[in-house]
Structure 1
C-alpha cells in the first residue's frame, strides 16, 4: 500500500504573520468612509479568518448582502491604499515561523496554506518573506467558500496527495479549528493570534500551543 503524504496546512493572518494593525486599521478606515459607527478593535479581531463578504455580514448583520459586497470592495481599496500609497511595510512573521517551516520540510512534511485572504494578498506575503518555496498548495477565498467550510482543506489534501488522517490544520481562530473538524482532520490552535485559547478548544482544537517551536512535536504526535 502506497503511503500518503503528511500535510501541515497553515492559516496566514494571525498564524504566520502578525497583521493585526493593518487589518484593524483598514477596517476602521472603511467604516469611517461609509459613515458607520466606529468599531471596537475586538470586534474586528473576532472576524479575522472569514472571507471579506462574510466578515462584513458578521459586522453588519442588519445590512443587505449588496451592502456587504460593496463594503468588502471598499476594504480592499483601503487596504491597497495603506499598503502602497502610505508605503506600509510588510506584516512581520511571528517569532520562529521561518525556523519551523524549514524544520517541518526537513522532516518530510508537505506544507500548505488555507486563508480567507485573496491569492494576490497571500502571494504578496509569501514573496515579502521569501517563504513561498516551503508550500506545495495554496488555498484562498478566491476559489472557495468562507471558513469554516472544509473546501480549502479538502482541496489542499487532494493537491498534496494526502488524506484527512495524515493532515493537520494550524490556525489562530475558531474558524480554522471548525474547518479542520468539518474536513475530518486534526486542528492545532496557536494562542498568539486573534481568538482566545478557550475559543480554539471549544471549536475542536486537539492542542493549543503558545510557541511556534512547539508545532513540530505536536504535528508529529497527531499524524506521525
Structure 2
C-alpha cells in the first residue's frame, strides 16, 4: 500500500454488484415458495436476504424452518436458478473491461459472495471472468455474511491486511461484513439495497454502479497523494 494506492485488494460481491441478477433470484425464490406450498412473502422480504448463505436466508424468511424445509428449499431453488428460470441475469455493463482496467493498474481482485460454490463456478465459467480473480469465497465454504470469516480467509490467503482491503457490495450484509473484518467498504446502489439503507453502515462512498469504481479510486489516490 502506498499513498498513491491506498488499497491493494478489491473484494467484490457478485449478485447485484457485478451481475444484474437480483430479479432472477427473487423470481426463483417466489417459484420455490409456490412449489413447496410455503407462506408467500413480499418481494422486498426476499430481496433483503440476498447475499446471505442459503440456510441463513431461509431462517430469516421462515424462522421455524426445519431441516426438511431447508433441504427442499435449497434443492428446488438451485434447480430453478441453474436450469429452469430464464429471467435475464447479465453482467452489468462494462464489468469485464472494468476488471481488466483494475488489474492493469495493479489491483488484486477477489469475490466474496452468498452464492454456493457450484453457482459461482458456473457463472465464472459462463462469463469468462474466472481468471480476473486471485481467489473467491462462497457462503457454503465459510460462515455467512455479515460474519467476517469470508473476508478474513481471503485476506489470510493473499497476505493482505484489512487496511489494504476494500469490500464493494450492494447490500447491508456486505457493509456489515466489512466492518466486522476491519476493512473499508464501498456501497453500490445497483442491487438489493438503496442509498438510504446503505448509508447508516458508514461506507466510504456510494456509487450508482460498479462501473464508477475507477473514478472513485482515482479520486482517492489523488486525495492520499495530496495529503502525503
Q: Under a length normalisation based on structure 1, what TM-score does the superposition of the two structures give?
A: 0.89
Indicate conservation of the 8 Å contact 1:95/1:212, yes or no. Answer: no
Indicate conservation of the 8 Å contact 2:23/2:87, yes or no. Answer: no
Indicate conservation of the 8 Å contact 1:57/1:65, yes or no. Answer: no
Partner deviation per Cα, 1:176-206 (whole Å, 9 max, x = no partner) = 0000000100000001111111221112311
Indicate conservation of the 8 Å contact 1:110/1:135, yes or no. Answer: yes
Is 1:97 paired with 2:95?
yes
Kindly report which structure 2 residues correspond to 1:158-197, keeping only aligned pairs within 5 A, or say none.
158-197=156-195
Corresponding residue for 2:155?
157
Q: Indicate the SS of the match to 1:187.
A: strand
Indicate conservation of the 8 Å contact 2:29/2:46, yes or no. Answer: yes
TM-aligned CA deviation for residue 16 of structure 1: 0.5
Is 1:30 paired with 2:32?
yes
Q: Indicate the SS of the match to 1:105.
A: helix
Partner deviation per Cα, 1:151-171 (whole Å, 9 max, x = no partner) = 111111122221101000000
Q: Call closer, same or farther: CA 1:27–1:135 in 2, change over 3 Å.
A: same
For 2:101 and 2:14, the matched residues in 1 are separated by 18
For 2:39 and 2:103, the matched residues in 1 are separated by 46
Higher mean C-alpha deviation, range 18-27 or range 142-151: 18-27
Corresponding residue for 1:212?
210
Kindly report which structure 2 residues correspond to 1:10-159, keeping only aligned pairs within 5 A, or say none.
10-64=12-66, 66-82=68-84, 88=86, 91-159=89-157
Q: Indicate the SS of the match to 1:138.
A: strand
For 1:213 and 1:20, the matched residues in 2 are separated by 18
For 2:48 and 2:7, the matched residues in 1 are separated by 33
Q: Indicate the SS of the match to 1:143.
A: coil
Indicate conservation of the 8 Å contact 2:17/2:210, yes or no. Answer: no
- Where structure 1 has 5 or more consecutive residues not aligned to the other structure, the ranges are none
Higher mean C-alpha deviation, range 203-212 or range 125-134: 203-212
For 1:218 and 1:5, the matched residues in 2 are separated by 12
For 2:217 and 2:57, the matched residues in 1 are separated by 30
For 2:81 and 2:136, the matched residues in 1 are separated by 21
Q: Call closer, same or farther: CA 1:73–1:203 in 2, change over 3 Å.
A: farther
For 1:201 and 1:152, the matched residues in 2 are separated by 22
Indicate conservation of the 8 Å contact 1:53/1:69, yes or no. Answer: no
> How many residues in Structure 1 have an aligned counterpart in Structure 2?
220
Indicate conservation of the 8 Å contact 2:17/2:209, yes or no. Answer: no
